[in-house]
Amino acid sequence: MSESDGRSVDPISEIDHTRQRVRDRALVQLGVAGDRETGRFLDVLRERDLRLYPLVALGLLSVVDTFHGFVFSVLTPEISATLGLNVGTIAAVVAVSGFAAAVSPLPIAALCQNKARRALLCLVTAFIWSVFTLATGFVVSLAGLVLVLVVNGLTTGSVTTLHTPLLMDSYHPQARVRVLSAYAAVGSAGAIAAPLLVVACTGWFNLTWRGVFVVLGLISLAVSIAALRLRDPGFGAWDTQRVRAAVRDRDHQAGTDLRPDTHGIHEPDVSLRFWEVCRRLLMIRTTRRLLIGFSIFGVLTVPMAVFFAFFLDRQWDLDPTQRALFAGAQACVSIVALAVYGSRGEKQFRKNPAVLLRNTGLLLAVALCCIVVGALAPSFPVMAALFCVSSAIVSVLGPALGIAMMSITPAVMRPHLGALTGMAVASGGLVGALFLGGMEERFGIAGAMVGMAVPGVLGALVISSAGRFIREDLERMIDEVVEDEKLKEMTAEGSGLPLLACRSVDFAYGQVQVLHGVDFTVAEGEMVALLGVNGAGKSTLLRVISGVGLPSRGSVRFRGHDVTYIDAERRVSLGMTQISGGHGVFDRMTVEENILAFGYTAARGRRQLARIVDECFDRFPQLAQRRTQHAGTLSGGEQQMLALSKALILRPRLLLIDELSLGLAPVVVGELLDMVRRINADGAAVVLVEQSVNIALSLAGHAYFMERGEIRFDGPSADLLAREDLLRAVFLKGAAAGEVSQA
Ligand SMILES: Nc1ncnc2c1ncn2[C@@H]1O[C@H](COP(=O)(O)OP(=O)(O)OP(=O)(O)O)[C@@H](O)[C@H]1O
């Protein structure tokens, strides 16, 4: 931003300056230091006074969460005989429970949106599933069975959604891959413990299925009680909060809570809502790719286990005990693999997260080779070895993908990411089941296992390719945190921030990038002209500002608040209104109906609405004469006038006008411009996108000039007139169109 026209403080260069200052430190705070110095696990914990308790508590909760599902699947025949239910009915009830487990992550993530109560939610859900596991032992009817299975499915959502984010925030970045690996290892240990417990209950103590549920329910309750000291450390306690502290450490004490000066904007008005957060996460390229990776993980873990049991039964004639022993052996190998992977993955991530992802893709490819060769192997030891290796590799996919994805996500959004991940795994499981089912029917069970190679290879390629973007996405996240904190600091210090600040905005229509790192600011009450040749990206920039298009990078701030990913209609109520040239009215509605449509957004009650309509017709008598005429039949100038009435009704703080003069006679344009002047004089800042240099510069004191999606000029309008090199293109175009452009 130019200083010469005396605009308010330039936040963009302030942020860039702070960004340079804290960049390297912030990367280290996110666990990427560029070296391989990770330190011994226990030393890392001891130095930071961290305990193993959260890891153990969450690990054990994840284990007892699986009890219900495991016992139910093993003892289904006995349950069905006691309750008099046929297999079809039981399968339907299990499907309903599976559906509940697949969707529950969403409400659970919503429950801790912006509020760090993840530990509480984990505990509450654990107590609920423990009680319902116990209660399963007393079920006597189908309705009771449906209830316990559905509640069990719903409460499972806390594990998929909250455990990994909680672990991320409970441990220092220097130990996180090891923590996630250890957590996965506890889960694998649970896969050994659950069958042993069932064998002990049924074999040694001669309990029926009811007794087994009661015992496992009691164990689950005991674990939940033991986990009662679990606390939520706060969002980003070890990373994003530290980056914030680094931003302010020069002038402020770390930990100072800086609240933005809201100027009448309430925090809930600008904080992202649930679906806006999900949409925002899906715009991160690495995240999109890794979610595909997680769905492959779902294919490999959910249906594969079932098909593998059939494979061992039919191909190798193993009885249930032998199959259970085989599964136990696989779990043991997985635990060893996770122990080995933890410190290696930690080093890789710390040195270069892109390498970690590339290696993860490679590992997946190796796992698939093992599955394919194992399925066709003629000898039992070879098959067993290959499948043990493959399941060990698959077990490390969770921590590897988890650390990569969680690290590039702002801490408050990690539960949402956990929910999306859970859904990716569940949908992968479902699609995988259908795919493997189809393959099995055509090519037999071994053929189905070989068929895994198809989605698996795709998954391996997608995961590897995510490595290309992870560094950029890490830096983007640092950028967002730095910007947010710096602006809070600036507002707290009373610096006059611009009304609108777009920073480093990139936008693409599909694969075609149209905006490249656009910086654009508008001061309170200012009139700004946005000029450029056809196709420069002016309308696209307005779309990004008004929320019709979402940028792939960069931010849009309105009155200091981040509105980059807020829905377009919410921006209207914050005070942003756009009028698009030639598309500003509803053609099939009458003039009065158009005004009422704008009025519904602003008015509270009928009386206020009627007053709005009267005021509008007083201000535009020409429209009053045509109140019952369809807007589509108005002249071009009248249509623009009607569109401008929107600004009168909504009284925005920022009005974005796209091509007001397009195709209109000079007299009409003159009238419309008078209106724009009046709207601006009433206090609204105006951004005027114009092809006509004359018109734009006669109104606006500050001008931007765009070319090929980049800002080529930013300064006082008078200075732009001296830039013949830029204006020539517009002049030539204007002359060709018969315009007079003698600026
Ligand atoms: N919906 C769309 N899908 C794909 N490409 C688009 C879309 N809208 C615009 N574009 C392309 O994006 C580029 C910028 O378009 P934009 O309308 O923002 O330019 P502009 O500067 O406003 O041009 P004009 O002055 O002609 O309106 C152009 O190359 C255009 O073809």
pLDDT in tens, 324-349: 888 889 999 999 999 999 999 999 99
CB atoms within 10 A of CB 176: 30
Nearest to 168, CA basis, from 518, 459, 526, 409: 409
Is there a domain that residue 43 lies in? no
Among protein residues, the one with the nearest Cα to ligand 1's atom 17 is: 539
User: What gap in Å lies between CA 568 and CA 671, rounded to an integer?
Assistant: 29
Q: How far is the CA of 304 from the centre of ligand 1 (A)?
A: 47
Is there a domain that residue 406 lies in? yes
Q: How far is the CA of 52 from the centre of ligand 1 (A)?
A: 55
User: What gap in Å lies between CA 212 and CA 40, rounded to an integer?
Assistant: 41
Instruction: Tell me: do 492 and 506 sit in the same domain.
Output: no
Residue 565 phi, psi dihedral angles, 5° rounding: -115, 15
Contact 224, 205 (CB under 8 A): no
Residue 493: DSSP 8-state: T
Residue 512 phi, psi dihedral angles, 5° rounding: -95, 110
Please, how many CA atoms are within 13 Å of residue 555, restricted to the half-sphere of its CB?
23
With H, G, I as helix, E, B as strand and everything else as coil, classify residue 36.
Answer: coil
Q: How far is the CA of 582 from the centre of ligand 1 (A)?
A: 15
Residue with tokens 């993530």: 109
With H, G, I as helix, E, B as strand and everything else as coil, classify residue 655.
Answer: strand
Among protein residues, the one with the nearest Cα to ligand 1's atom 7 is: 509
Residue by residue, what is the 3-state secondary structure of 94-117? HHHHHHHHHHCHHHHHHHCCCCCC
Contact 383, 449 (CB under 8 A): no
Among protein residues, the one with the nearest Cα to ligand 1's atom 10 is: 509
Instruction: Tell me: do 383 and 528 sit in the same domain.
Output: no
**Residue 200 corresponds to which tokens in the numbers above?**
């002990």
93-108 confidence digits (pLDDT tens): 888 888 898 889 999 9
Q: How far is the CA of 709 from the centre of ligand 1 (A)?
A: 10
Element (H, E) at 136: helix 118-136
Among protein residues, the one with the nearest Cα to ligand 1's atom 18 is: 537
Interface pTM (ipTM) of the complex? 0.97
Provide the pLDDT confidence category of residue 261 given band limits of 50, 70 and 90: very low
The more confidently predicted of residues 165 and 252 is 165
Residue 449 phi, psi dihedral angles, 5° rounding: -65, -40
Element (H, E) at 74: helix 53-74
**In this structure, what is the dihedral angle of CA atoms 345, 346, 348, 352, given to the nearest 10 degrees?**
130
Q: At what angle do helices 380-407 and 353-376 cross, to 10 degrees?
A: 160
* Total number of domains in the chain: 2
What's the confidence (pLDDT) of residue 729? 65
The DSSP annotation for 196-231 comes to HHHHIIIIIS---HHHHHHHHHHHHHHHHHHGGG--
Is there a domain that residue 645 lies in? yes
Q: How far is the CA of 549 from the centre of ligand 1 (A)?
A: 12
Query: Could you tell which of 511, 533, 540, 580 is best to mutate to test the pocket of ligand 1, judged by most ligand atoms within 8 Å of the CB?
Result: 540
Write the Ramachandran bin of 230: left for phi over 0, alpha for psi from -120 to 50, otherwise beta. Answer: beta
Ligand 1 atom at minimal distance to the Cα of residue 541: 18
Instruction: Tell me: do 464 and 551 sit in the same domain.
Output: no
- Kindly state the average pLDDT of the residues 490-507: 85
What's the confidence (pLDDT) of residue 596? 84
Q: Which of 497-501, 650-654, 708-712, 731-735 has the lowest mean pLDDT?
A: 731-735
Residue with tokens 């973007």: 469
Provide the pLDDT confidence category of residue 2 given band limits of 50, 70 and 90: very low
What's the confidence (pLDDT) of residue 263? 46
The more confidently predicted of residues 420 and 33 is 420
Instruction: Tell me: do 412 and 324 sit in the same domain.
Output: yes
Provide the pLDDT confidence category of residue 267 given band limits of 50, 70 and 90: low
Among protein residues, the one with the nearest Cα to ligand 1's atom 6 is: 509
Ligand 1 atom at minimal distance to the Cα of residue 542: 18
Pairing of strands 576-580, 654-658: parallel
Is there a domain that residue 472 lies in? yes
Residue 730 Cβ contacting ligand 1 at under 6 Å:
no
What's the confidence (pLDDT) of residue 743? 35
Q: How far is the CA of 598 from the centre of ligand 1 (A)?
A: 26
Instruction: Tell me: do 306 and 442 sit in the same domain.
Output: yes
Among protein residues, the one with the nearest Cα to ligand 1's atom 29 is: 535
116-128 confidence digits (pLDDT tens): 899 999 999 999 9
Q: How far is the CA of 539 from the centre of ligand 1 (A)?
A: 7
Residue 206 Cβ contacting ligand 1 at under 6 Å:
no
- Residue 686 bridge partners (DSSP): 527, 655
Burial class (CB in 10 A: 0-12, 13-18, 19+), 162: buried
Provide the pLDDT confidence category of residue 735 given band limits of 50, 70 and 90: very low
Query: Could you tell which of 513, 533, 538 is best to mutate to test the pocket of ligand 1, judged by most ligand atoms within 8 Å of the CB?
Result: 538
* pLDDT reading at 386 higher than 60: yes
Nearest to 55, CA basis, from 47, 65, 45: 45
366-384 confidence digits (pLDDT tens): 998 999 899 899 999 999 9
Write the Ramachandran bin of 532: left for phi over 0, alpha for psi from -120 to 50, otherwise beta. Answer: left
278-330 confidence digits (pLDDT tens): 999 999 999 999 999 888 888 877 777 778 888 888 889 988 788 888 888 99
Residue 737 Cβ contacting ligand 1 at under 6 Å:
no
Give the percent of the chain with pLDDT over 70: 93
Ligand 1 atom at minimal distance to the Cα of residue 709: 14
Of 476, 496, 516, the last residue of a domain is: 496
Q: How far is the CA of 560 from the centre of ligand 1 (A)?
A: 28
CATH number of the domain bearing residue 435:
1.20.1250.20
Residue 421 Cβ contacting ligand 1 at under 6 Å:
no
Instruction: Tell me: do 535 and 467 sit in the same domain.
Output: no
The more confidently predicted of residues 231 and 726 is 231
Instruction: Tell me: do 477 and 550 sit in the same domain.
Output: no
Is there a domain that residue 642 lies in? yes
Q: How far is the CA of 537 from the centre of ligand 1 (A)?
A: 6
Residue 635: DSSP 8-state: -
Query: Could you tell which of 514, 657, 690 is best to mutate to test the pocket of ligand 1, judged by most ligand atoms within 8 Å of the CB?
Result: 514
702-712 confidence digits (pLDDT tens): 999 999 999 99
Is there a domain that residue 128 lies in? no
Of 496, 514, 544, the last residue of a domain is: 496
Instruction: Tell me: do 319 and 463 sit in the same domain.
Output: yes
The more confidently predicted of residues 629 and 598 is 629
Q: How far is the CA of 693 from the centre of ligand 1 (A)?
A: 19
Give the percent of the chain with pLDDT over 90: 46
Instruction: Tell me: do 507 and 641 sit in the same domain.
Output: yes
User: What gap in Å lies between CA 71 and CA 85, rounded to an integer?
Assistant: 17
The more confidently predicted of residues 147 and 675 is 147
**The overall pTM is greater than 0.95:** no
- Residue 630 bridge partners (DSSP): 590
Residue 696 Cβ contacting ligand 1 at under 6 Å:
no
What's the confidence (pLDDT) of residue 395? 93
Instruction: Tell me: do 618 and 490 sit in the same domain.
Output: no
CB atoms within 10 A of CB 116: 20
The DSSP annotation for 243-300 comes to HHHHHHTTTS-TT--PPP--TT--HHHHSPPHHHHHHHHHTSHHHHHHHHHHHHHHHH
Residue 518 phi, psi dihedral angles, 5° rounding: -80, 125
**Average pLDDT of every residue of the chain:** 86
Contact 709, 549 (CB under 8 A): no
Ligand 1 atom at minimal distance to the Cα of residue 534: 26
Provide the pLDDT confidence category of residue 257 given band limits of 50, 70 and 90: very low
Nearest to 217, CA basis, from 133, 309, 151: 133
- Kindly state the average pLDDT of the residues 141-170: 94
Q: How far is CA 210 from the centre of its chain?
A: 42
**In this structure, what is the dihedral angle of CA atoms 172, 178, 179, 183, given to the nearest 10 degrees?**
170
Is there a domain that residue 213 lies in? no
Query: Could you tell which of 506, 509, 706 is best to mutate to test the pocket of ligand 1, judged by most ligand atoms within 8 Å of the CB?
Result: 509
The more confidently predicted of residues 161 and 618 is 161
* pLDDT reading at 256 higher than 50: no
* pLDDT reading at 691 higher than 80: no
Q: How far is the CA of 511 from the centre of ligand 1 (A)?
A: 14
Instruction: Tell me: do 468 and 532 sit in the same domain.
Output: no
CATH number of the domain bearing residue 686:
3.40.50.300
What's the confidence (pLDDT) of residue 582? 63
Element (H, E) at 527: strand 527-532
Of 472, 496, 520, the last residue of a domain is: 496
Q: Which of 91-105, 238-252, 503-517 has the lowest mean pLDDT?
A: 238-252
Nearest to 545, CA basis, from 559, 555, 535, 531: 555
Among protein residues, the one with the nearest Cα to ligand 1's atom 2 is: 509
Instruction: Tell me: do 485 and 533 sit in the same domain.
Output: no
Among protein residues, the one with the nearest Cα to ligand 1's atom 5 is: 509
Domain with 435 in it: 1-30+267-496
User: What gap in Å lies between CA 366 and CA 105, rounded to an integer?
Assistant: 31
Q: How many residues does the chain have?
A: 743
CB atoms within 10 A of CB 610: 13
Is there a domain that residue 731 lies in? yes
What's the confidence (pLDDT) of residue 730? 64
Provide the pLDDT confidence category of residue 59 given band limits of 50, 70 and 90: very high
Residue 509 Cβ contacting ligand 1 at under 6 Å:
yes
Element (H, E) at 458: helix 453-492
User: What gap in Å lies between CA 477 and CA 33, rounded to an integer?
Assistant: 16
Contact 12, 521 (CB under 8 A): yes
